[in-house]
Amino acid sequence: MSAGSLLLITILLPLLGAGGIVAARRNPDVREGVTLVTASLLAVLVAIIANRFLNGESFFVTIAEPLPGITISLKIEALGMLFALVAGTLWLVTSVYAIGYMRSHNEQNQTGFFAAFAIAISCTMGVAFADNLFTLFLFYELLTLSTYPLVTHSGTAEAKKGGRLYLAILLGTSIGLFLLGILITWFLSGTVTFQKGGVLTGKIDPAWAGPLYMLFLFGIGKAALMPFHRWLPAAMVAPTPVSALLHAVAVVKAGVFTLLKVTIYIFGSDFILSNDVTGGIIWIAAATILFASLVAMTKDNLKARLAYSTISQLSYIALGAMLASKSSLVGASMHIATHAFAKISLFFAAGAIYVVTNKKLISELNGLGRAMPVTFSVFIVGALSVVGVPLFAGVWSKWYLGLGAVETGQLLLLGVLMLSSVLNIAYLLPIPVRAFFGKPADGKQYTKVKEAPITILLAMIFTSSSCMILFFHPNPFYLLATLAAKGH
């Protein structure tokens, strides 16, 4: 099959899956079968594409040309490949998890849930493989819209309020700022296609490059930089599988991914370094890292704490992008993958706790660890990987980010990264400690509490062991990240 059409299939396959899910709505077993088959096919397909890409094959396809010079095109480069691999693999894992979660929790309208999920994955693939800003923007917006029904899934007043905030911030920033940035880029350079070395060199007065970069930085609301981060905690009203895959992996990573793409292929790292484009605004990311960690400490709701942790970790990637040195870009790209596996493990654990005990608050978890040892072990692995302890994958991305800060002489930023790791320990590790060693408030023992259903456990074990395996074998992510940092 031709290389370009394979790319099209990565987008069409989940869409077809969504159709199949709706068609099989009367029979839940068949419906879940469709989800699993589609997700497996997609994972295999993405793996095949990655393999062929690493063997030097190039993939390109143009779907339409709405305006002269502005096309809807798909193409593979290293960063997009990395993102697609993460999202494609984790969709399968999350589907396994979601089936257990949704059934044991007796959620309503599961057909709509699984269908919207598949559509969101289709949009994520579009974001990953977009060849130009226009295509990326198209799928970026569709991703927002397709995840909205997932956020409001429960239909409660809180869910609707969360959904409204979600749409308002994501659409507001993307139409108000991101689109404006794209328009200005087109106006100045006459192209919106991602190119090696960027397209703006010589086309823009370096003094204005900083403000333009800010349009992208804030306009890409999915990257959740402060002050446009509020949608992420608000989106936590969604069922946990959604929080796990979409709001720890696909949606937010689509944001920082876009930011990296803009940095590498629109501005170009050399242009940024030689003109000090991000010198001042890099502190926005640094501030977000620290503030979000501090806010996370104050949250008693487990998912809310994880959400603020995500905000903080996303800014690592934004920081890496803005440092724009080779090492920092490797670190930022790696962090897309390593943080994904770690954070999804944490959310899976949170969801398992909720399904079994209906508990959402950290203060209620005392003593639960002995009843659910697997779940909390998974949590510990995820937490240590987020902190960046050796033996866990998270250390690699932090290593390269730190190296980037040293390379560019930004020692203060290195300090921020260190301090943040300490804060990570402070807000993540007390949770399993409490569960294993704390005493329940009313003195009762959790004798009747068992581990979550097997599908949930399997998914958790997979993601947490990946965190460890990726420490020893960081490929193909490391390879792709180095290629991406070189602008391939």
Q: Does residue 176 touch other proteins according to CB under 8 A?
A: yes
Dist. CA 366–CA 350, nearest whole Å: 14
252 DSSP assignment = H
How many of the chain's residues bind other proteins (CB under 8 A)?
28
Q: Does residue 180 touch other proteins according to CB under 8 A?
A: yes
Indicate the residue among 133 and 272 with the shorter CB distance to other proteins. Answer: 133
Of these, 160, 203, 230, 370, which contacts other proteins (CB under 8 A)? 160
| Minimum CB distance to other proteins, residue 67 (Å) | 6
Which amino acid, one-letter code, is at 223? Answer: A
Q: Does residue 218 touch other proteins according to CB under 8 A?
A: no
Dist. CA 445–CA 434, nearest whole Å: 14
Of these, 97, 166, 186, 257, which contacts other proteins (CB under 8 A)? 186
Residue 147 CB neighbours (<10 A): 27
Dist. CA 202–CA 430, nearest whole Å: 52
Of these, 3, 23, 179, 429, which contacts other proteins (CB under 8 A)? 179
Q: Does residue 167 touch other proteins according to CB under 8 A?
A: yes
Of these, 137, 379, 462, 478, which contacts other proteins (CB under 8 A)? 137
Which region, judged by CB under 8 A, interacts with other proteins, from 61-69, 318-326, 440-448, 475-483? 61-69
Q: Does residue 426 touch other proteins according to CB under 8 A?
A: no
Q: Does residue 72 touch other proteins according to CB under 8 A?
A: yes
Q: Does residue 134 touch other proteins according to CB under 8 A?
A: yes
Indicate the residue among 133 and 322 with the shorter CB distance to other proteins. Answer: 133
Q: Does residue 157 touch other proteins according to CB under 8 A?
A: no
Q: Does residue 184 touch other proteins according to CB under 8 A?
A: yes
Which region, judged by CB under 8 A, interacts with other proteins, from 166-174, 295-303, 359-367, 423-431? 166-174
Ramachandran assignment for 71, one of left (phi > 0), alpha (psi -120 to 50 degrees), beta (any other): beta
Which region, judged by CB under 8 A, interacts with other proteins, from 164-172, 208-216, 405-413, 448-456? 164-172
Q: Does residue 207 touch other proteins according to CB under 8 A?
A: no
H helix intervals, 220-372:
231-234, 240-245, 251-261, 269-275, 282-298, 302-323, 326-357
Of these, 95, 152, 293, 385, which contacts other proteins (CB under 8 A)? 152
Mutual angle of helices 411-428 and 373-387, in 10-degree steps: 170
| Minimum CB distance to other proteins, residue 168 (Å) | 8
Which region, judged by CB under 8 A, interacts with other proteins, from 140-148, 236-244, 289-297, 388-396? 140-148
- Find the Cα–Cα–Cα–Cα dihedral 191, 192, 196, 201, rounded to 10°: 60
Indicate the residue among 57 and 158 with the shorter CB distance to other proteins. Answer: 158
Nearest 5°: phi and psi at 203?
-100, -15
| Minimum CB distance to other proteins, residue 66 (Å) | 5
46-53 CB contacts, 8 Å cutoff, 24+ apart: 46/10, 46/84, 46/85, 46/88, 46/89, 47/85, 47/88, 48/6, 49/6, 49/7, 49/10, 49/76, 49/81, 49/84, 50/81, 50/84, 50/85, 50/476, 50/480, 52/3, 53/81
Dist. CA 37–CA 17, nearest whole Å: 8
Dist. CA 286–CA 23, nearest whole Å: 48
| Minimum CB distance to other proteins, residue 262 (Å) | 17
Q: Does residue 164 touch other proteins according to CB under 8 A?
A: yes
- Find the Cα–Cα–Cα–Cα dihedral 279, 398, 369, 307, rounded to 10°: 30
Dist. CA 261–CA 361, nearest whole Å: 37
Indicate the residue among 184 and 389 with the shorter CB distance to other proteins. Answer: 184
Both structure tokens of 258:
């876009």
235 DSSP assignment = G
CA 397 to chain centre: 15
Which region, judged by CB under 8 A, interacts with other proteins, from 48-56, 77-85, 173-181, 368-376? 173-181
Positions in the binding site for other proteins (CB under 8 A): 63-68, 72, 134, 137-138, 141-142, 145, 152, 155, 160, 164, 167, 171-172, 175-176, 179-180, 183-184, 186-187
